[in-house]
Each structure stands twice: as C-alpha cells, then as structure tokens.
A = this chain, B = another copy of it.
Amino acid sequence: MIELEPVATVRGGRSEAMDDDWDREMAVVELDSRFDSDALSGLADFSHAEIIFHFDRVTDDRVETSARHPRGRADWPLVGIFAQRGKNRPNRLGVSVCAIVAVEGRRIHVRGLDAIDGTPVLDIKPVLREFLPRGEVRQPDWAGELMAEYWTRRA
C-alpha cells in the first residue's frame, strides 16, 4: 500500500457531482498550511494546471474493477474501467486540466475543474505543451458522444 497525504483542497465550485457543463465553474485550489506560498512560485506563468485529486465521495461498493457501460448507457459499449475516465474506479484518482485564473498566496483560482467542493488534492502540476500527446489522438465514437456537453452545455 502507498500512503498519500493531500497537498491541497478544492474550495467552491459545485457541492455535488453532476455530469456536464463544467467549464462554467470557478473554484479555488487551496494549498495545505504545511506548505508556504513559494511552493506555487511561478505557477501563474502557465495557462493551465493539471490537478490530481481523490474522488473521496465514491464508496467502496461503487468501485468498478472490471467492465461497465460508461454512464450506464447500454447503447455505448461495455468497456473496461481502465478504458474510461469515470470516477467509480480503483484508487478513485481523478486527473483533470483546468485554466489558471490567478495565484494568490496559497490559493490557485481555477476555471473548469471537474471536482467538487472539499475534494482532497494529491498533486498539482503545470501543463507543459510537451507533455500533451505526441502524435494524433484516436478514440472510439462513444467517447466523443459522452464528452459532447461535458465542458459546455449546448444552448
């Protein structure tokens, strides 16, 4: 077993998990008081941060360890839990890219973080262009359909 201690907490944004329309959400990632603000020095020079967080509201009985239909949609294929990004997964880790709006002291103001108020954050990394996928990204059709309104709901 590997023991991790949260480094920060999500403050604000949604209070309950709901699919879709996340880019309208503003939130603060607040660094734990054991760190000083120097740990965020230079982060504001990046446009985006990658937040690694823990889906702490997911109970053990909901964790899928094999395959399921994404969002329970029987019209989408049965795919393995490691071939989807849903929250009911072993270790309950979320990894998501959000826009950095401002950094003030130990607080990072972000937009479009798909984690709810109170979520424990395990790491914060800057997004570097060079860490994006090398080469063309291919994905199955169901993934694009699932994501259609994830960030912005259509009018």
A102 contacts the other chain (CB 8 A)? no
Do the beta carbons of B139 and A126 come within 8 Å of each other? yes
A-to-B contact residues, CB < 8 Å: 1-7, 23, 31, 34-36, 38-43, 45-48, 50, 52, 54, 56, 65-67, 77-85, 89-91, 93, 95-97, 99, 112, 120, 122-140, 143-144, 147, 150-151
Task: Specify which chain B residues have a CB less than 8 angstroms from the CB of A140 in the assembled complex.
Answer: 42, 45-46
Contacts of A112 in B (CB 8 A): 134
Looking at the assembled complex, report how far the CB atom of A22 sits from the nearest CB atom of chain B, in whole angstroms. 10
Could you tell me the distance between the alpha carbons of A41 and B83 in the complex, rounded to whole angstroms?
Answer: 7
The residue from B23, B40, B123, B132 contacting A91, defined by CB atoms under 8 A apart: B123
- Can you identify 10 A-B contacts, CB atoms within 8 angstroms? A5-B91, A7-B91, A35-B90, A38-B66, A42-B78, A42-B83, A85-B126, A91-B122, A95-B125, A127-B133
